[in-house]
Structure 1
């Protein structure tokens, strides 16, 4: 057995970048919390250097490196570092009414693409062809965009029902553009609903270079610490990992991986498989639901940077409550907390650290609920009534969100993680238990380091062709293949989620099937 069996996990948050080192038995050897930097990468390097300098760390044994990063999210929000994308929609003449990217923010559309093409082809909802695929037009487009774009996004009408036109179109484009040219096809990314699926595919295509640069920079940072042969993984937004190569094909799946890392870390640190996880940072509080040990997925369309999409996303609620949230008392006596925050500057600007801004951290320090944080003497003269009201506001904010995440009326366990979780009391209305595990402040980095590898498919099948049992077996096989592609050990793969929803409006006993397979890292 190889002695390269230790792991380093890094998770980038809006305020702090956390890093941990785990040994072969997933025991925590070293953990650090370092400020997130404007360029993100230098903050990762700082955190990596600090955690590897920890007592007991044997860097020669590190064989796996995991990164949960905000790079892709930031690129979309900031409209920077995005690839130029040639957008191809297969669906003429049926889809001429609405152009691609019609409802996108103008500056994002300008940053990504001014080239879109409508090609004959696509399928009806029952799998019948709308029109034959216009291969000659695709070859003309390939020659036109050659050298003019960095990536191609292909979307076909009802490709989750029949993806043959998309895969053929991708093959034609690669004949002209090269086998390694980045091509995103919508049936591998989104589900039924043309515009949202197309949007997700275009965003994915625009993020290929960001994912490539991030992976290469992470590998370079590891090499700078003399770690040159570790397997590198990026965190997905379902609480699992994917190889760096897989991440370059599906970079959009890294979006919102931070909260899911915290959820997985909370599960690992407590042993609970079902709970609400409350992750309190310096600026925001993220709440998510553990279901069978993994984050619950959202069933709704999700907006990213002003673009409506329908690809896989975690069911997360974010509120403006964090350790740096600014507390104000108004003329009528009411008290508000946030949503604005001093963020990572809390250790300089909060009153208890000698600053001049009243923050949520000051409130809990003044209440005697945050031992070892700041200097209690600096907040000793705060009005007790103000402290009481502010704590009540913070508690109510969390309780309301926990209620929103519930699917039943009964009490549920809550796990508190994140450096700002000192803001939340040990008892909450509607909650059975409030747990705060050891190493709660680094749960996100722990979640990235202990994660498994997954594969997921979501397709529309006709049960008339194979029957339900055989259809589900086919779907499980496809999900297993995706997990293996992402880097999972084939012998360890388990099917953790199967969902089939009959589509009454489609003929052929059509059913939308979603299957998730999870396995351990291939060692």
Structure 2
């Protein structure tokens, strides 16, 4: 029995095959194409060709993809939606999509703010305005297939959102796609609402990549595999879950790399530096999983507050262009030759000086034809490498929570440009299979369940509340497809909320376990 892991990056589509003992038996890198399915098909074909295994022996297939991120950033393939906010009169001062750029705000063809919602302590602001909601949904019937619903303080009470969703189905039909904010974001109406709108607009993108991946597998005889999609907390979700919550695939690439680095480096606490062809992503492993961001995250110019990994991206990659300025200083990137590196880099016979050329010139790696670099002055190459090192070291310092030296794991095909002596580190490890850590992270990932709720410890003692929340999280992981005996609690968080009545805390528990075969 084998696992197939695929991760689609901006430069390469990586694929790995892993056996029952989680040993890597084959890995490949295939250029990412404009139509990513050509790249996925090519990756599957190549991995089967070099491994010589029977496709029917692949029982698990995992995909990490950047399509949702690309759709938002490029403003392409986003589905028109309707937005209903429940929160009048209290939230009328800040209209929906108030800070969105015009080119993406057009995704909402209609938005309304109606009566309803709750106070911070759970008291009702106003009764749910059923008549207004009914008119809104009737006006949109036949015009859109996706609806976003938000409500003031729905993270405390979600009754009005659920009532609106029920009414929407009743009026617009069972086929309408509904995203409700209490299931997507956390505290903060505007950021939670923004995330919900993005999720609603991505449903066709999600349908395309989930069905497309299944079709790609079937075309190569992989018909016995359960299919999963990588999500951005370093775990997996089912196809149906990915279609309902496509926004959770955003930033799954860096999290796959972090999970893969943790597995390959046998470290559960470290900084991971994932260098691709265009950018470097720096993240942190905590307990074997990616550290989660604690601040609002901007995606394609839209401010959101849904779950995201804490990752720093810098414009440095294996294809980054190296230039000497008129004042003699050297600049690195942020522009890159990307997937065209094998045609444009000097070491491959091209005419563009890249960071990979610098690494080859300094003897850090052996690829291409080093003789093509004879014209590069060694002193210039050393100065360029000093700039590269400075960019990496600054990134490491930015991700640290203390001034102590940290273990660092280098992964990604572009990590050949990173020197092994980095200040602020106690060890720098580049494990075997470092180039396909993202695909490995996808293939070895577990399935998870997360329970989150606001609990007043005066009404329910802390120990009792935490224990009950752990059981809920474990049960959610099992329902998602985890083997119950393998499920473990991987994160426990309870945060006091000073502005709430009593001793209210936000309790969040995450559990993860091995996949059922």
* TM-score under structure 2 length normalisation: 0.97
Give the distance between the partners of 1:78 and 1:189, measured in 2 at CA: 22
Deviation per residue, 1:85-126 (Å, 9 max, x gap): 11111111111111111111111111x112112221111000
Give 2:48's match in structure 1, choosing from 49, 52, 56: 52
Q: Check the 8 A contact 2:11/2:277 in 1, yes or no.
A: yes
Q: Check the 8 A contact 1:191/1:459 in 2, yes or no.
A: no
Question: How far has the Cα of 1:485 moved from its partner?
Answer: 4.3
Question: How far has the Cα of 1:464 moved from its partner?
Answer: 2.6
Bigger Cα displacement from structure 2, 320-329 vs 131-140: 131-140
1:121 matched to 2:116? The reply is yes
Structure 1: 4+ residue segments shifted above 4 A: none
1:339 matched to 2:346? The reply is no
* Aligned counterpart, 1:504: 498
Secondary structure in 1 aligned to 2:171? helix
Secondary structure in 2 aligned to 1:466? coil
1:395 matched to 2:392? The reply is no
Secondary structure in 2 aligned to 1:88? strand
* Aligned counterpart, 1:468: 462
Bigger Cα displacement from structure 2, 184-193 vs 22-31: 22-31
Question: How far has the Cα of 1:351 moved from its partner?
Answer: 0.8
1:415 matched to 2:415? The reply is no
| Compared CA separation, residues 120 and 473, structure 1 to 2 (3 A) | farther
Give the distance between the partners of 1:352 and 1:490, measured in 2 at CA: 52
Q: How does 1:350-499 map to 2 (within 5 A)?
A: 350-371=345-366, 373-499=367-493
Question: How far has the Cα of 1:476 moved from its partner?
Answer: 2.6
Question: How far has the Cα of 1:325 moved from its partner?
Answer: 0.7
Q: Check the 8 A contact 2:4/2:17 in 1, yes or no.
A: yes
Give the distance between the partners of 2:329 and 2:344, measured in 1 at CA: 23
Give the distance between the partners of 1:389 and 1:291, measured in 2 at CA: 34
Question: How far has the Cα of 1:167 moved from its partner?
Answer: 1.6
Question: How far has the Cα of 1:251 moved from its partner?
Answer: 0.5
Give the distance between the partners of 1:40 and 1:457, measured in 2 at CA: 34
Q: How does 1:125-136 map to 2 (within 5 A)?
A: 125-136=120-131
Give 2:87's match in structure 1, choosing from 88, 91, 96: 91
Secondary structure in 1 aligned to 2:138? helix
CA-atom RMSD in angstroms: 1.3
1:106 matched to 2:102? The reply is yes
Secondary structure in 1 aligned to 2:62? strand
* Aligned counterpart, 2:324: 329
Secondary structure in 2 aligned to 1:322? coil
Question: How far has the Cα of 1:206 moved from its partner?
Answer: 0.8
Give the distance between the partners of 1:13 and 1:108, measured in 2 at CA: 24
Deviation per residue, 1:362-387 (Å, 9 max, x gap): 1111111112x111111123111101
1:9 matched to 2:5? The reply is yes
Secondary structure in 1 aligned to 2:22? coil
Give the distance between the partners of 1:166 and 1:446, measured in 2 at CA: 39
* Aligned counterpart, 2:174: 179
Q: How does 1:263-278 map to 2 (within 5 A)?
A: 263-278=258-273
* Aligned counterpart, 1:65: 61
Give the distance between the partners of 1:14 and 1:459, measured in 2 at CA: 37
Question: How far has the Cα of 1:180 moved from its partner?
Answer: 4.3
Bigger Cα displacement from structure 2, 76-85 vs 354-363: 76-85
* Aligned counterpart, 1:258: 253
- Residue segments in structure 2 that go unaligned for 5+ positions in a row: none
| Compared CA separation, residues 91 and 477, structure 1 to 2 (3 A) | farther
Give the distance between the partners of 1:482 and 1:176, measured in 2 at CA: 31
Q: Check the 8 A contact 1:21/1:57 in 2, yes or no.
A: no
Give the distance between the partners of 1:229 and 1:400, measured in 2 at CA: 46
* Aligned counterpart, 1:225: 220
Give the distance between the partners of 1:90 and 1:9, measured in 2 at CA: 42
* Aligned counterpart, 1:138: 133
* Aligned counterpart, 1:28: 24
Deviation per residue, 1:42-63 (Å, 9 max, x gap): 1111111111111342312101
Give the distance between the partners of 1:250 and 1:331, measured in 2 at CA: 49
Give the distance between the partners of 1:332 and 1:142, measured in 2 at CA: 62
* TM-score under structure 1 length normalisation: 0.96
Give the distance between the partners of 2:171 and 2:286, measured in 1 at CA: 46
Alignment length (residue pairs): 517
Q: Check the 8 A contact 2:206/2:246 in 1, yes or no.
A: yes
Give 1:519's match in structure 2, choosing from 502, 507, 513: 513
